Amino acid sequence: MENISIIECLEEKDKIAGINLLNKAFSGGTNQETLAWHEAAVTHKNYKPLMICARDKDKLVSVCNWLPWEFVFEGKKYLAYQSCEGATEKEYRGKGLWREILKYGDELLVGRGIDFLFCFPGSLSYYPLCMAGYHPVGTFKYRVRIINPFKKNRKENDRVMSEWAWAGLVEKNKITAHADQNYFKWRFQVNPKEYEWVRYDEDNSQALFIVRKSKYYNNKYRIKINELLLLDCQFTSYYEPFVNKAFKYLEARYAKSVFHIRTFFNEHTDRGRAIAPYFPISLRRSRERLLSIPVKGKIDQQILLNFNNWDIMPSLRDNL
């Protein structure tokens, strides 16, 4: 450990080495395209993604990256950074190196004036992150809506993003991602993953669903199921008959190609209460655990660490 140095990855060779290490640890994880998407966050914000690495002389042996997100709460914008993927070479594990990288990166970001940190850790990184200062906020269980395969398919007549000129309903007293046109463009169009936009209009009410086709693996029966992952949904009205028709439209559109729709949300929010009836099945072992670190003088710790105050969906998971 004497020869190991922890630095910010600024040179291209370090970034490439970091990507290669992450790819060894995560199948389908961060690659050159994903890194370019991370860097594109700077095009509409003055916030740079962060990659911290540990080097043993000239060899990169551990890495972790952070991604900037903008939130709104009580009408005010807040800058947060999400701790994303991290990996360490096998022979360097168990020495507290990754925890040192986390500490270095988090302290660097706090010094740059951010408002809070958050992450959605996997099972292996949950306790190391807690030991590094992250606090448990709560658990989002994935919910499922089974699709009727006999529904009649709808024609694709959804409008492109450039016509997205309105904002969905936002609860002022909830912490939620700042969703404007720049956000939607960066999150779902610049992103190398393929997403579909489903828009439903009726009278003066509008709904937008951001979805991605995926495979859900059932461990019990060891089968793969075609699914539709609902990453985000925005409404201009939570009027129950309108929301019902919007979900029927979404279901009919994908009835022939997927078995279910899967998502997570907070039932203690207006949006969560509006969409909860359409996702009656809770998956026991499919969940996302939210951790956060408050920054002194920013959002009050009791507010930030209260699960009921978060109105978020899978769009906040950078790898989905």
pLDDT digits (tens, 9 = 90+) for 303-318: 999 999 999 999 999 8
Tell me whether domains 4-133 and 140-288 share a fold.
Answer: yes
Q: What pLDDT, on the 0 to 100 scale, is given for residue 71? A: 94
Residue 87's pLDDT is what?
A: 87
* Cα 82 from chain centre: 9
Amino acid at site 75: G
For residue 43, the SS3 value is helix
Place of tokens 């989905």: 320
> Which of 12-16, 21-25, 133-137, 146-150 is most confident?
133-137
Query: Do the Cβ atoms of 26 and 63 come closer than 8 Å?
Result: no
Domain ranges of the chain: 4-133, 140-288
Spatial contact of 50 and 4, defined as CB atoms under 8 Å apart: no
Better-scored residue on pLDDT, 219 or 30: 219
* Helix axes 12-25 and 32-39, enclosed angle (nearest 10): 120
In the predicted structure, residue 160 carries a pLDDT above the cut 60:
no
Reduced to 3 states (helix: H, G, I; strand: E, B; else coil), residue 217 is strand
pLDDT digit string (tens) for 20-75? 888 877 765 667 777 777 777 654 456 788 999 999 988 899 999 999 999 999 99
- Using DSSP's 3-state secondary structure scheme, residue 200 falls into strand
pLDDT in tens, 174-212: 999 988 888 888 888 888 889 999 999 998 899 999 999
Percentage above 90 pLDDT, the chain: 55
Q: pLDDT > 70: what percent of the chain?
A: 90
Instruction: With CA atoms as reference, report the closest residue to 49 among 221, 247, 190.
Output: 190
The pLDDT value given to residue 44: 47
Fold of 140-288: Aminopeptidase (3.40.630)
Mean of the per-residue pLDDT values of the chain: 87
Distance between terminal CA atoms of the chain? 35
What's residue 1's pLDDT?
61
Give domain 4-133's CATH number out of 1.20.272.10, 2.60.120.560, 3.40.630.30, 3.30.230.10.
3.40.630.30
Torsion of CA 120, 126, 128, 129, to 10 degrees: 30
Whether 206 and 166 have beta carbons less than 8 Å apart is answered as yes
Does residue 231 register a pLDDT over 90? yes
- Element containing residue 144 per DSSP (H, E): strand 135-146
* Spatial contact of 128 and 94, defined as CB atoms under 8 Å apart: no
Model-level pTM greater than 0.75?
Answer: yes
